[in-house]
Amino acid sequence: MKAVRIHQFGGPEVLIYEDILDPQLRKDQVLVKVKACSLNHLDLWVRKGLPGVKLPHILGSDIAGEVMEVGEYVSGIKVGQRVLVAPMHFCGHCVKCLAGVQNQCREFTVLGNAVDGGNCELFTVSGANIIPISDSLDFNQAASVPLVFVTAWHMLVGLAAVRPGQTVLVLGASSGVGIAAIQIAKLFQCRVITTAGDEAKLEKGRTLRADYGINHYKQKISEEVRKITNKEGVDIVVEHVGAATWDESMKCLKTGGTLVTCGATTGPSVGIDLRHLFARQLRILGSYMGTMGELNEVLGHVFAGRLKPVVDRTFPLSEIRAAHEYLEKSQMFGKVVVNP
């Protein structure tokens, strides 16, 4: 089969489109013909070099396609079904997995990170990761859902316990997590403030029903939030940018507010004034992906049309270098997808 592998870490030039052996199906696995695989910033970080990645390596976390073959230990899945793949690897038998918190399993990782991903024509995965998709989604849309929507759902619903009537600040309206978080917050009848680097992206954020938009290149986020909230601040900040926005994000919180973070795109090192933390009774929560239960819960809303994936642009898998270069420019609104 054709696949894209990295044999060394570096820039887009290390992505090699090549022929490799077809995967061998285990009895507890399903063989999927990959129709679409969306990119995430994780692909860029792994390509540049992360601990635990064994070379050669296949990137790609979000996979949608058709079932080609089903192992004899797998039930409920049929050849020809349209499916997506839960973008996570876990052992399935430890205390955490049995308790339904797979993202706390010691073996937990995202597909395409410490294990091979879906930048290929054929992909084998545990039957537990296979989720049939509704006819309302095409393959590009389906591949744009799993990682970002389960991440945003876990952040807002599983950890921050979002409630109707709250005010939520979502950093990065054009990012995959940002697009998902805006919609989830509105699903819970919250007032949503979001940020972006230009007016076009802010306007697209408003089409997702964000109530207010802040241009973070022209406006100071915390000052605008104070104006919007009559100096009160927000209940929840959805943070995934990191060092560049951390101080502003903390300033935006009301007393007793919650900052939940899942990423550090602009750098991992930030400062915290503990006096403000305890005096204002703030909560800082770290979030990593989500659980299988949460993925199925948020997919129910996607399949019903209450939450919508946004596809920015597609590339043939053979042009994945161009797709990575496009993603690195951060000009997109929505997901970048490659098609084998």
55: tokens are 């070379």
The chain-wide mean pLDDT, for the chain, equals: 96
How much is the average pLDDT of 270-299? 96
> Dihedral sign, CA of 234, 238, 240, 241?
negative
Domain extent for 238: 149-286
pLDDT on residue 106: 97
pTM of the predicted protein model? 0.96
Same domain, 121 and 181: no
Looking at the fold, whether 132 and 246 belong to one and the same domain comes out as no
54 contact partners, CB below 8 Å, separation of at least 6? none
Structure tokens at 16: 């090699």
The answer to whether position 203 is within a domain reads yes
The enclosing domain of 259 has a CATH number of 3.90.180.10
Residue 185 reports pLDDT greater than 90? yes
Q: Under 8 Å CB-to-CB from 89, ≥6 apart: which residues?
A: 107, 108, 109, 110, 111, 114, 115
Section 47-70 average pLDDT: 97
Q: Does 294 reside within a domain? A: no
- Same domain? For 60 and 133 the reply is yes
Examine the domain organization and report whether 156 and 134 are in the same domain: no
The predicted structure's pLDDT at residue 82 = 98
302-339, pLDDT tens digit by residue?
999 999 999 999 999 999 999 999 999 988 999 999 99
Q: Give the residue from 192, 140, 143 showing the smallest Cα distance to 165.
A: 192
Residue 293 lies in a domain: no
Which carries the bigger pLDDT value, residue 267 or residue 4?
A: 4
Say if 27 falls within a structural domain. yes
Q: Residues 173-183: what's their mean pLDDT?
A: 96
What tokens appear for 174 in the block? 């054009």
Looking at the structure, tell me whether residues 176 and 65 fall in a common domain: no
Give residue-wise pLDDT tens across range 229-244. 999 999 999 999 989 8
Q: Does residue 209 lie in a domain region?
A: yes
**Is residue 123 predicted with pLDDT exceeding 90?**
yes
- Provide the b/e sequence for 247-282 (b: ≥16 CB within 10 Å): ebbbbbbbeebbbbbbbbbeeeebeeeeeeeeeeeb
Total structural domains in the chain?
Answer: 2
The full DSSP string for 222-286 is HHHHHHHTTT--EEEEEE-S-TTTHHHHHHHEEEEEEEEE---TT-S-----HHHHHHTT-EEEE
119 occurs within a structural domain: yes
Segment 30-47, tens digit of pLDDT: 999 999 999 999 999 999
139 and 155 part of one domain:
no
Together in a domain, 129 and 200? no
161 and 270 housed in the same domain: yes
pLDDT at position 265: 86
Instruction: Judge whether residue 139 has pLDDT over 90.
Output: yes
Is residue 267 very low, low, confident or very high in pLDDT (cuts 50, 70, 90)? Answer: confident
Examine the domain organization and report whether 153 and 125 are in the same domain.
no
Query: Does 100 lie in the same domain as 185?
Result: no
- Together in a domain, 199 and 99: no
Same domain assignment for residues 220 and 242: yes
